[in-house]
């Protein structure tokens, strides 16, 4: 960081502050994680200098013989790890991975089915301000009121009624297993394309902790920075028959030059994800989420769907006298970072929301386990119950600082240099 400090002390200082925030506070946003120094080294490398429009062996620029090898390694690792027929590692983000699929299979005005945003769907599944809502006719499906599980009967009924070109299986705030075989059956019944968006759960999928959509889905999209713990970016995978249409949709259709430094970092993350340590890590992510859900329920919290099968817990605050936005703020003041989140059938608008979403991937990366989850659940409960008692909040944030010091993240290696 020496040259940055010299060239731009202002930005340098802010990055240092952010390092402190990540090191000494509890990061519990379900879509965040802490990537490895090896991933960051690749991402911060000189590969950022190279233009490589096109694909390995078919570039529009000279001098691509090294980056070709990198992209080929990333593709090969993605294909093997996810058990798919084809992978494109160029999408700059998860939303662009989804856009690539939509543009490959749909013309503007086409109809698709996606999870209702108010029930856990993602922005890129039909938000009215997003391209996904502006260009297409979106038919949302939701979860059942009685158990908060995806209403597969509703998906089938809507599919038969609207005959969509595509059905999307995937969500940002769904704590349960998604049944891709039912989605596959429904898609076949109405001759629709099935896309599985595993942005959140990809790490669980490659570790065998969540069923894989590779068999049932025509397309699988993911981010690489959530449970995958890689650099910020996306990957799209598909059956062979879609491969060339998909590739030309991404380049030249949607993007210019690929981010070769990020693709190198994706390759590194994919290698890490194939290790036994990574599977153990994901096992602990799920175990920690279950512990957190159980503890919060013991402390009197309502949990959407009554628990979790994956890396996240959705807390229903309707009987707690705080809304999601307030809870987010109270926890932030104590040193716990979460996000407000709509719960199914939420009476409040999304800006307030009646819930918070809590995830365990980041804290599990710094090796926190069952004991720490129990402690954190008790802090969450205490902070929310004593929101205006500054002494309580101060005591909790002191405890959090100590806990973080006992589970160092990057601090050991970096800051002392």
Ligand X SMILES: *Cc1c(COP(=O)(O)O)cnc(C)c1O
Smallest distance, ligand X to C-beta of residue 200, A: 5
Closer to ligand X by CB, 158 or 171: give it: 171
d(CA 121, CA 135): 17
Residue 122 contacts ligand X per CB under 6 A:
yes
Helix axes 276-298, 370-385, angle to 10 degrees: 40
* Token digits of residue 128: 């009215």
C-beta closer to ligand X: residue 170 or 213: 170
Task: Yes or no: say if 216 and 183 are a contact pair by the CB < 8 Å rule.
Answer: yes
Identity of the residue, 172 or 326, whose beta carbon is nearer to ligand X in the bound complex: 172
Shortest distance in whole angstroms from residue 234 CB to ligand X:
6
H-only helix segments in 274-389: 276-298, 324-334, 361-365, 370-385
55 is catalytic: no
Out of 32, 53, 68, 179, the active site residue is 53
Question: Per the residue annotation, which of 25, 76, 144, 232 is the catalytic one?
Answer: 232
Which of 226, 229, 357, 366 is catalytic? The answer is 226
How distant, in Å, are the alpha carbons of 184, 336, 337, 350 from that of 325? 37, 14, 12, 9
Q: Active-site residue 197, yes or no?
A: yes
Least Cβ distance, residue 59 to ligand X (angstroms): 25
Q: From the list 22, 35, 223, 284, which residue makes contact with ligand X (rule: CB under 6 A)? A: 223
232 is catalytic: yes
**Does 31 engage in binding with ligand X (CB under 6 A)?**
yes
Q: Is 152 exposed, middle or buried (0-12, 13-18, 19+ CB in 10 A)?
A: middle
197 binds ligand X (CB under 6 A): yes
Give the span between the Cα atoms of 198 and 272, in whole angstroms: 18
DSSP string, 255-299: -SS--HHHHHHHHHHHHHHTSHHHHHHHHHHHHHHHHHHHHHHHT
Known catalytic residue at 77: no
Q: Which is nearer to ligand X, 197 or 272 (CB)?
A: 197
Question: Under the criterion CB under 6 A, does residue 255 sit at the interface with ligand X?
Answer: no
Using CB under 6 A as the binding rule, the residues of this chain from 283 to 312 that contact ligand X are none
Is the preceding omega at residue 252 within 30 degrees of 0, hence cis?
A: yes
Determine the Cα–Cα distance for residues 122 and 315; give it in Å rounded to an integer: 18
**How many angstroms separate the Cα of 202 from the Cα of each of 31, 211, 278, 357?**
11, 10, 12, 18
Q: Which entry of 19, 24, 25, 51 is annotated as an active-site residue?
A: 51
Q: How far is the CB of 332 from ligand X (least distance, A)?
A: 21
* 144 counts as catalytic: no
**Active-site residue (options: 27, 71, 116, 197):** 197
How far apart CA 175 and CA 310 sit, in angstroms, is 6
Alpha carbons 412 and 405: distance in angstroms, whole number: 10
Which pair of tokens denotes residue 135? 């260009």
377: contact with ligand X by CB under 6 A: no
- If one asks whether residue 171 binds ligand X (CB under 6 A), the answer comes out as yes
- Whether 320 is catalytic is no
User: Which of these ranges, 167-175, 241-249, 357-365, 377-385, lies near ligand X under the rule CB under 6 A?
Assistant: 167-175
| Residue placing its CB nearer to ligand X in the complex, 129 or 240 | 129
Residue 124 interacts with ligand X (CB under 6 A): yes or no: yes
Residues in 77-116 that interact with ligand X by CB under 6 A? 93-95, 98
**Is residue 228 a contact residue for ligand X (CB under 6 A)?**
no
As annotated, the active-site residues are 51, 53, 197, 223, 226, 232
Binding site for ligand X (CB under 6 A): 31, 93-95, 98, 122, 124, 170-172, 197, 199-200, 223, 234
């Amino acid at each position: 960081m020496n040259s940055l400090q010299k060239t731009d002390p202002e930005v340098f200082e802010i990055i240092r502050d952010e390092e402190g925030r990540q090191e000494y506070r509890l990061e519990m946003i379900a879509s965040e994680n802490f990537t490895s120094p090896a991933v960051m080294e690749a991402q911060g490398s000189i590969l950022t200098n190279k233009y490589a429009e096109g694909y390995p062996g078919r570039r529009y620029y000279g001098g691509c013989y090294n980056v070709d090898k990198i992209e080929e390694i990333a593709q090969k690792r993605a294909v093997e790890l996810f058990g798919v027929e084809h992978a494109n590692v160029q999408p700059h983000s998860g939303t662009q991975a989804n856009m690539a699929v939509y543009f490959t299979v749909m013309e503007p005005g086409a109809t698709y089915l996606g999870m209702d945003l108010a029930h856990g769907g993602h922005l890129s599944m039909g938000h009215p301000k997003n391209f996904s809502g502006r260009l297409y006719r979106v038919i949302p499906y939701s979860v059942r009121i009685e158990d908060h599980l995806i209403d597969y009967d509703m998906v089938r009924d809507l599919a038969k009624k609207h005959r969509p070109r595509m059905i999307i299986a995937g969500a940002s705030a769904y704590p349960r297993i998604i049944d891709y075989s039912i989605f596959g059956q429904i898609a076949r019944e109405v001759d629709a394309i099935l896309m599985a968006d595993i942005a959140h759960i990809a790490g669980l999928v490659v570790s065998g902790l969540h069923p894989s959509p590779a068999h049932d889905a025509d397309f699988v999209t993911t981010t690489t920075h959530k449970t995958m713990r890689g650099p910020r970016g996306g990957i799209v995978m598909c059956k062979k028959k879609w491969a060339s249409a998909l590739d030309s949709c991404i380049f030249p259709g949607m993007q210019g030059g690929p981010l070769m430094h990020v693709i190198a970092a994706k390759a590194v993350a994919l290698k890490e994800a194939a290790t036994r340590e990574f599977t153990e890590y994901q096992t602990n992510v799920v175990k920690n989420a279950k512990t957190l859900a159980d503890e919060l329920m013991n402390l009197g919290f309502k949990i959407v769907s009554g628990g979790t099968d994956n890396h996240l817990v959705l807390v229903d605050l309707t009987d707690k006298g705080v809304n999601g936005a307030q809870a987010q703020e109270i926890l932030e003041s104590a040193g716990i970072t979460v996000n407000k989140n709509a719960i199914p059938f939420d009476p409040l608008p999304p800006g307030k929301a009646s819930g918070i979403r809590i995830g365990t991937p980041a804290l599990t990366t710094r090796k926190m386990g069952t004991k720490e989850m129990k402690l954190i659940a008790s802090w969450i409960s205490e902070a929310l119950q004593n929101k205006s008692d500054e002494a309580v909040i101060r005591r909790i944030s002191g405890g959090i600082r100590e806990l973080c010091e006992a589970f160092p993240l990057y601090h050991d290696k970096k800051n002392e240099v």
